[in-house]
Amino acid sequence: MSSAHKLLVYLRAWLPGRTTVDARERLRAMGGAALGLLITALICRWIAQTLGGNAVWLIAPLGASAVLVFAVPASPLAQPWSVVGGNTLSAIVGIASVNWIPDPAVAAAVAVGGAIGLMFVARCLHPPGGAAALLAVLTHTSHLSSAFFPFFVNSLLLVLAGAAYNSFTGRRYPHVQVAQPPRADARFSQADIDAVLARYNQVLDISRDDLESLIQQTELESYKRRLGTLHCDDIMSRTPITVEFGTPLQEAWALMHERRIKALPVVDRTRRVVGIVTQADFFRQLDLAHHEGIAGRLRDFIRATRTVVSNKPEVVGQIMTRQVRVASADRPVVDLVPLFSEGGHHHIPIIDAEKRLAGMITQSDFVRALYRAVRPGH
């Protein structure tokens, strides 16, 4: 990268980025901040009047706290403990600085730096907390009781108003970070995210669960863009081998062995899918706890019983999986990503407009299509 290009990139960093929220969300944030501050102000003014005197009843940093609580309620910096703990603890640091450091300039610097350090330790980092510490110094607030009122009470009332308003308008607040259980087929794990965040070593204004969700959704958007308008009928294997409910087990197994396939759609006389039988369905009928003689037990299982009464399954319909996930022929291929990557599916029957079997998509078909999409020209 040339020096001129580096300079251009640096200068662009001074410009504002594009906003990604619509007018409705902006109005929601504006209304919430106004309503939350109004409720807080009215209650705290009443408290101050009740206490008598000229007590301060509303702090300026609360305006910045309102921006976080109502405009970015998912931010870790906007959560209840961050707001209440950050503002209150920072106020205590500011009050202590006033009492212990005579020079206001030094006291201001120590108050803000100390507030940041204490918020890190208490896990309540909140940007307006720095302003709360500075405000205590600039107003020469020396009584520790001021940390309770107005700092603590202001913050608590704003948080309660934020919880009510955000929930009413469809925003999760408090924004609890829910750890997702690890998946064996996941492309990345919590440990991977932890490793990257450790190398990044900076505070991120986004919760961990939102970060993971955004990565997954970005991945899906990438698949959608690359796969384009590709539909199931573009990649499916046409005229798949099928069996019916009454097909003998021996015949179904022979078809799988001869055609080297692992699953057979089970259809009725109108070619509508009523189930699917896989190699796993056959082995599920055997006692796999004992590995010896599996081949012989399989032969005995699929061999037709010559008597009128049988004590084992004889036809496909008795061992097939009845709940079958199907997809229509005109469905976008990208919709199958969760089925193959997370749903544990290996074969998806494809049906036409009349709900009749039209083809089959296997994991191999899907991987080939995905490879062609991400590696055009190959």
What token pair was written down for 211?
Answer: 């970060």
Cα distances (Å, whole numbers) of residue 326 to 273, 345, 347, 361: 9, 11, 9, 10
Determine the pLDDT at residue 14.
87
Determine the pLDDT at residue 290.
67
Domain assignment present for residue 314? The answer is: yes
- Nearest-angstrom CA–CA distance, 16 and 64: 19
Same domain, 139 and 274: no
- Identify the CA nearest to 279 among candidates 252, 241, 244, 313: 252
- Domain termination site, one of 127, 145, 168: 168
Determine the pLDDT at residue 185.
47
Same domain, 158 and 37: yes
- Domain termination site, one of 168, 195, 213: 168
Domain assignment present for residue 225? The answer is: no
Same domain, 143 and 260: no
Cis check for the bond before 150: say yes or no (omega within 30 of 0): yes
- Identify the CA nearest to 86 among candidates 112, 119, 131: 119
Domain assignment present for residue 141? The answer is: yes
CA 243 to mean position of chain CA atoms: 41
The residues, ordered by sequence, that sit 6+ positions from 140 with a Cβ below 8 Å of its Cβ are 98
- Domain termination site, one of 120, 152, 168: 168
Q: Give the chain's residues under pLDDT 50.
A: 184-185
The DSSP bridge partners found for residue 328 are: 351
The amino acid present at 230, given as its one-letter code, is L
Q: SS3 of 79, please? A: coil
Q: How many residues does the chain have?
A: 378
The residues, ordered by sequence, that sit 6+ positions from 275 with a Cβ below 8 Å of its Cβ are 245, 265, 266, 316, 317, 320, 321, 322, 324
Per-residue pLDDT of 185-203, as tens digits, reads 456 677 777 787 788 788 7
Same domain, 352 and 280: yes
- Return the CATH number at 361: 3.10.580.10
Same domain, 40 and 137: yes
Same domain, 52 and 146: yes
State the SS3 of 179-202. CCCCCCCCCCCHHHHHHHHHHHCC
Domain assignment present for residue 26? The answer is: yes
Per-residue pLDDT of 197-235, as tens digits, reads 788 788 777 777 777 777 777 777 776 676 667 889 888
Domain assignment present for residue 153? The answer is: yes
Domain assignment present for residue 224? The answer is: no
Q: Phi first, then psi: give them for residue 203, nearest 5 degrees.
A: -75, 125
DSSP letters spanning 298-309: HHHHHSPP-SSS
Q: How many helices (H) and strands (E) does the chain have?
A: 16, 6
The DSSP bridge partners found for residue 349 are: 360
Domain assignment present for residue 325? The answer is: yes
Same domain, 143 and 255: no
Domain assignment present for residue 209? The answer is: no
**Dihedral sign computed on CA atoms, order 367, 369, 375, 378:** positive
Number of domains in the chain: 2
What token pair was written down for 171?
Answer: 């925003």
- Nearest-angstrom CA–CA distance, 135 and 126: 15
Q: What is the largest CA-CA distance in the chain?
A: 104
Domain span at 282: 232-374
- Identify the CA nearest to 370 among candidates 334, 346, 329: 334
The amino acid present at 20, given as its one-letter code, is T
Same domain, 259 and 362: yes
Same domain, 258 and 347: yes
CA 287 to mean position of chain CA atoms: 40
Q: Sort 291 into a burial class: Cβ within 10 Å, 0-12 / 13-18 / 19+.
A: exposed
- Identify the CA nearest to 125 among candidates 90, 173, 160, 74: 90
